[in-house]
Structure 1
Amino acid sequence: MSYSHMDADARRKLETHLAPLKGDNVSTWFDGDMNAGDKLDTAIARALRNAHVFVGLLSPDYLASHYCWKIEYRRAMNRRARGTMRVVAVVVRPCDWKSTPAAGFKLLPEDGREVTRWRSADAAYLNVAQGIRRVVAAVRREIAAASQPAKPKRAAAKATAKAAAKGSAPPKAKKPRARANVARKPSKAGTKT
């Protein structure tokens, strides 16, 4: 979670609303989880490398923070461009996010309406937590799909369907050669080969 320290209350409230996700084996990390003596940039860079989801809490202070906006958010967007991270922007206070690269993405709460403009902050954070839950579910599906070996039968079926659509005969599948384990007779010297 990336946030300006001016929005520490917003981070705490969101963390509270994410408690059910934590019970579902989702862990959160923010710079407050670091130990005294840890090197800031190294620990944050490590956390960014290991995370599947980046949550940035947008506010005027966040956009004004060189470290939050120009370093953390940019690193997350670079990972997003490589397909290795999901980036979720949460608008916690009114700010000019529409003139930033974040404007091209779906923001939380719903439609990027700032948390402070909701009748109830709890309703806004619930909306955010539900949105993050959907992102986590999508990431888990992607991870599960990536860990599944490719099924050759599907590839053959697709090739047959493609050939049928073209009106040609389906390609003949090569039969795998069966390998037989043959025991060899011992050589005259008495050693096995």
Structure 2
Amino acid sequence: MAAKTRGTPPTTKAAGSVKRPSAVAKSKSPASVDSKPEVRIFVSYSHVDVEAQAKLNTHLAPWRRDGVKVWYDENIEPGAELDAEIARELRQAHIFVALFSPAYLDSNYCWNIEYKRAMGRRARKLMRVVAVVVKPCGWKQTPAAGFKLLPKDGIPPERWSSKDAAYVNVAQGIGEVIKSVRRELLAKSPKPSRAMPKPGSNKSAAAKKIVPTPTVKPRSVTRNSSK
């Protein structure tokens, strides 16, 4: 059986009459999501507690992927001046996290320089300070006793059911501070200004549509003379 051939329809539309999606419509991207402001965390710790610092950094991984920068002195490049780099990062940080331990409280640099400098910035409302008890120590005999510590109730990780459970609690607590800082940064960020109208563009539409009324000349009336 011969195959049927499709004939040309009797009436075809011109090529130009076919509606095609415009280039603008094709390039239209989905609504952009507002980028979150970067939050910077300065981690202060004694090098004796490097294991606790690494553990905390691991549990903060979801926040690091969410745009939070976690800084500690191991990030300093070789050849850089230690004091200058530490002072610069501390000034730029939004959150100061101190890892309390016997070695931290005994360290002149950790306690008398980094921690006290951070508390000074906190007093000027320039920084949040969070103390994390990573080992049993005498923090209750310090001014830090007047603040809420992490993990919950300042109980060190070794007294929890597992160290990971303690660090999960720490990461959750720091996460709440991160969200609070982000809200403050968003509130302070400048809002986009509205475009100013062009000169003369503020005329009302009614004024633009006014058409002058044509003048009608009176018709001359001719009367037949009775004379």
Given the two structures, how large is their TM-score scaled by the length of structure 2?
0.65
| One-letter amino acid of the structure 1 residue matched with residue 77 of structure 2 | N
Which residue number corresponds to residue 171 of structure 2? 129
1:10 and 2:10 aligned: no
1:26-41 to 2 correspondence within 5 Å?
A: 26-41=68-83
Is the partner of 1:144 in helix, strand or coil? helix
> Are 1:46 and 2:88 counterparts?
yes
Query: What is the CA–CA distance in structure 1 between the aligned matches of 2:151 and 2:175, rounded to whole Å?
Result: 13
Structure 2 partner of 1:79 = 121
Q: For residue 169 of structure 1, what is the aligned residue in structure 2?
A: none
Kindly provide the CA deviation profile for residues 109-148 of structure 1, in whole angstroms up to 9, marking residues without a partner as x.
Answer: 0111111211100000000000000000000111112225
What residue number does 2:148 align with? 106
What is the aligned length?
152
What is the CA-CA distance between 1:29 and the residue it aligns to? Answer: 0.5
Q: Distance in 1 between matches of 2:166 and 2:80?
A: 34
Give 2:100's aligned residue.
58
Q: CA RMSD in A?
A: 1.5
- Between structure 1 and structure 2, the one with the greater Rg is 2
1:103 deviates by 0.5
2:113 equivalent to 1:68: no
CA distance in 1, matches of 2:147, 2:187: 25
**Which one has the bigger helix percentage?**
1
Alignment partner, residue 95 of structure 1:
137
Residues 1:24 and 2:66 are matched in the alignment: yes
Aligned residue type for 2:115: Y
Q: Distance between the aligned counterparts of 2:137 and 2:96, measured in 1?
A: 19
SS in 2 for 1:83: coil
Paired letter, 1:52: H
**Alpha-carbon separation, structure 2, partners of 1:27 and 1:71:** 22
Aligned mates of 1:145, 1:35 — CA distance in 2:
34
What SS does structure 1 have at the residue aligned with 2:68?
A: coil
What TM-score, normalized to structure 1? 0.76
One-letter identity of the residue aligned with 1:112: G
Give me the whole-angstrom Cα distance separating, in 1, the residues matched to 2:118 and 2:86: 11
Provide structure 2 residue ranges, at least 5 long, that are not aligned to the other structure: 1-42, 192-198, 201-227
Secondary structure at 1:28 match in 2: strand
**Partners in 2 of 1:112 and 1:96 — Cα distance?**
11
